[in-house]
C-alpha cells in the first residue's frame, strides 16, 4: 500500500462498497433518514450524531426513544411544545447525556429556529467562506450553541470544540451527513454554504486505527490536529471530496477488522 495510486484504488473500491443504502440500517444515520422535512432531518441528524457513543444498536434505540417523545415531528415540537410536553425528557439518559442536556438541546433548537430557517446558519454566520477546513465553523457553532443565558456547563462535554483540541468526531460526522453530495443515497447534501473540500474526516476509533495502519495518521495522540492530518492525506487521493473515504476507513474497521 506504499504508493498513493495503489492506496487510492484500494480505498475507492471500499468507498463504493460501503457508500450505499445497505450501510444505513445499522448506522445512526438511519435516524435522520426517517424524515423528509429539512429541519426534521437537521435536528434528528444532530441529536443522532451527538448520541453516537457506544454500540450502534443502542444508539439507534435511544434516538428513537428521544424522537418518539417529540411525536416524531422534531421541528414542530421544538417550536410549539408546552411545558408539560417536556416531562418525558426528565427520564431520558444515554451514557453521560441526561435530562439537563436534553432540555437544553430543545431550548437551543427552539431559540435557533425562531430566528433561522436552517441549522446550517449556526455554523456559518460570521465565518469566512474561504476557510480551508471547518475549524472556524465548529468554533462558531460552539459559541452559538451556548449563547443562551444560564446554559448548563455540563453540556459542554457533548459539543466538541477544536479550540479545546478535540477531534470533534461526532460533529464532523454530522457535517458530512449534511454537506456531502453524491447520488449514493447515504449522505443528505442539504447544505450549500460549507464545501465538501472543507469537511474534516470524523476520527473515531475504527477510522483512527485503519488510518494509522495505512500510514494516513502519524501523530501519537488523537486530537484536532490528527483529524486535520488525516484529512490532508485524504485530499491527496481526492482534493474535492476527501471525507468520502470515511466510508472506506470506517467500513474496513468495523466490518473487516482491518487493523
Q: List, for residues 46-89, the tens digit of each pLDDT value.
A: 999 999 988 899 999 999 999 999 999 999 999 999 999 999 99
Query: pLDDT band at 230, cuts 50/70/90?
Result: very high
Q: Please check the confidence at residue 5 and state whether its pLDDT lies above 70.
A: yes
Nearest-5° angle of CA 240, CA 245, CA 251? 165
**pLDDT at position 2, please?**
54
pTM of the complete model: 0.95
User: What are the C-alpha distances in Å from 242 to residues 95, 226, 249, 253?
Assistant: 31, 15, 12, 18
**pLDDT at position 4, please?**
80
Q: At what angle do helices 205-213 and 224-235 cross, to 10 degrees?
A: 50
Q: Which grid cell sits at 12? A: 475507492
Domain segments of the chain as ranges = 4-254
Share of the chain above pLDDT 90, in %: 92
State how far Cα 11 lies from the chain centre: 21
Residues 120 and 183: their CA atoms lie apart, in Å, by 21
Q: What is the mean pLDDT of the chain?
A: 95
Instruction: Report helix, strand or coil for 254.
Output: helix
User: What are the C-alpha distances in Å from 198 to residues 169, 221, 230?
Assistant: 15, 23, 13
Note the helical H segments in the chain: 4-18, 38-50, 56-68, 74-80, 99-115, 120-124, 135-145, 169-179, 205-213, 224-235, 245-254
Nearest to 188 by CA among 68, 29, 6, 15: 29
> Average pLDDT of 222-240?
97
Render pLDDT for 131-171 as a digit per residue (tens, 0 to 9): 889 999 999 999 999 999 999 999 999 999 999 999 999 99
Amino acid at each position: 500500500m506504499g504508493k498513493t495510486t495503489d492506496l487510492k484504488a484500494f480505498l475507492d473500491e471500499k468507498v463504493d462498497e460501503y457508500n450505499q443504502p445497505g450501510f444505513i440500517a445499522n448506522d445512526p444515520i438511519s435516524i435522520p433518514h426517517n424524515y423528509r422535512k429539512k429541519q426534521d432531518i437537521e435536528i434528528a441528524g444532530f441529536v443522532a450524531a451527538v448520541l453516537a457513543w457506544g454500540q450502534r444498536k443502542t444508539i439507534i434505540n435511544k434516538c428513537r426513544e428521544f424522537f418518539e417523545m417529540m411525536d416524531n415531528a422534531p421541528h414542530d415540537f421544538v417550536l410549539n411544545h408546552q411545558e408539560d410536553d417536556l416531562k418525558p425528557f426528565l427520564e431520558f439518559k444515554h451514557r453521560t447525556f441526561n435530562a439537563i442536556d436534553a432540555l437544553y438541546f430543545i431550548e437551543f433548537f427552539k431559540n435557533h429556529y425562531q430566528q433561522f430557517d436552517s441549522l446550517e446558519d449556526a455554523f456559518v454566520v460570521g465565518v469566512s467562506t474561504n476557510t480551508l477546513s471547518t475549524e472556524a465553523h465548529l468554533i462558531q457553532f460552539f459559541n452559538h450553541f451556548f449563547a443562551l443565558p444560564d446554559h448548563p456547563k455540563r453540556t459542554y462535554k457533548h459539543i466538541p470544540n477544536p479550540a479545546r483540541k478535540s477531534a470533534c468526531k461526532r460533529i464532523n460526522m454530522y457535517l458530512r451527513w449534511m454537506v456531502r453530495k453524491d447520488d449514493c443515497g447515504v449522505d443528505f447534501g442539504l447544505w450549500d454554504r460549507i464545501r465538501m473540500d472543507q469537511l474534516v474526516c470524523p476520527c473515531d476509533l475504527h477510522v483512527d486505527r485503519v488510518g494509522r495502519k495505512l500510514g494516513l495518521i502519524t501523530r501519537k495522540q488523537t486530537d484536532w490536529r490528527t483529524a486535520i492530518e488525516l484529512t490532508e492525506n485524504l485530499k491527496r487521493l481526492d482534493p474535492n471530496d476527501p471525507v468520502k473515504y470515511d466510508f472506506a476507513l470506517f467500513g474496513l474497521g468495523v466490518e473487516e477488522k482491518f487493523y
